[in-house]
């Protein structure tokens, strides 16, 4: 008969996952304490691949680099292409290749920040691996999580990846310059966002034209610890 116990492997997998997350959260708290002690603003940028994280980052850096010390942690599974684009703005960047890993974790960020050695009152922008599933589970110690959606994606992203939208503090809706050419309703997206996280603030912008960046840059300035 079929009477042997199947519960064992699953139980073990779950406890290993819990262990990994607990270890991560301890390190995230350490990062958070470090950022707080140095009056830093740390932002964790998350999105699907191709939603324009790096382009938003480039324009943000070019707008703010004269008034702030900015440092970037660039997470990517394989290439250093994004890090090269960031370096071109003159911003110090620590590249983390996660290999098969689909997210950054607090330990990686901890090591990268030690390498960057940012001064007090600086802005740290962390570009996470392009994925809306795994990064939702891993706290990096950031002050704010910024989720980016572009109008070339489906409006149903918040319903498909509720965990990410629930754990984010602000949503950037990118590529608004393409709205005339795509079948996308910002009203529908916002309605879905409200169902998942009514407190999530949204800013519509275009990394290509710069439209909407005043609001985004204003949000960063407003949230920088004094």
1 falls within a domain: no
- Is-contact 123 104, C-beta < 8 A? no
What is the CATH number for 73? 3.40.50.300
- Is-contact 103 138, C-beta < 8 A? yes
What's the pTM?
0.92
3 falls within a domain: no
pLDDT at 11: 64
Question: What is the extent of the structural domain holding 73?
Answer: 9-223
4 falls within a domain: no
- Is-contact 51 82, C-beta < 8 A? no
For residues 187 and 82, which has the higher predicted lDDT (pLDDT)? 187
pLDDT at 3: 52
For residue 168, the number of C-alpha atoms closer than 13 Å in the C-beta half-sphere is 29
For 136-155, the pLDDT digits (tens) are 999 999 999 999 999 999 99
The residues, ordered by sequence, that sit 6+ positions from 128 with a Cβ below 8 Å of its Cβ are 44, 45, 46, 53, 75, 103, 104, 135, 140
For 37-83, the pLDDT digits (tens) are 999 999 999 999 999 999 999 999 999 999 999 999 999 888 778 88
159 falls within a domain: yes
108 falls within a domain: yes
19 falls within a domain: yes
Domain count, the chain: 1
76 falls within a domain: yes
- Residue whose token pair is 């740290």: 124
């Amino acid at each position: 008969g079929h009477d042997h116990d199947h519960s064992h492997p699953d139980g073990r997998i779950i406890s290993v996952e819990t262990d990994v997350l607990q270890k991560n959260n301890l390190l995230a708290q350490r990062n958070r304490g470090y950022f707080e002690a140095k009056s830093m603003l740390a932002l964790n940028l998350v999105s699907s691949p191709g939603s324009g994280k790096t382009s938003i980052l480039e324009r943000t850096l070019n707008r703010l680099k004269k008034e702030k010390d900015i440092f970037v942690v660039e997470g990517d599974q394989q290439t250093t292409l994004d890090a090269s684009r960031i370096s071109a703005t003159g911003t110090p960047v620590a590249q983390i290749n996660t290999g098969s890993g689909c997210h950054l974790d607090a330990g990686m960020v901890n090591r990268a920040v030690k390498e960057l050695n940012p001064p007090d009152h600086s802005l740290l922008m962390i570009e996470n691996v392009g994925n809306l599933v795994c990064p939702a589970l891993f706290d990096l110690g950031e002050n704010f999580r910024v989720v980016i959606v572009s109008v070339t994606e489906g409006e149903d992203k918040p319903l498909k990846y509720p965990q990410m939208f629930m754990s984010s503090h602000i949503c950037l809706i990118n590529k608004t310059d393409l709205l005339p050419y795509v079948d996308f309703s910002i009203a529908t997206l916002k309605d879905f966002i409200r169902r998942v996280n009514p407190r999530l603030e949204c800013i519509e912008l275009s990394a290509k034209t710069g439209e909407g960046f005043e609001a985004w840059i204003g949000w960063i300035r407003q949230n920088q610890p004094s």
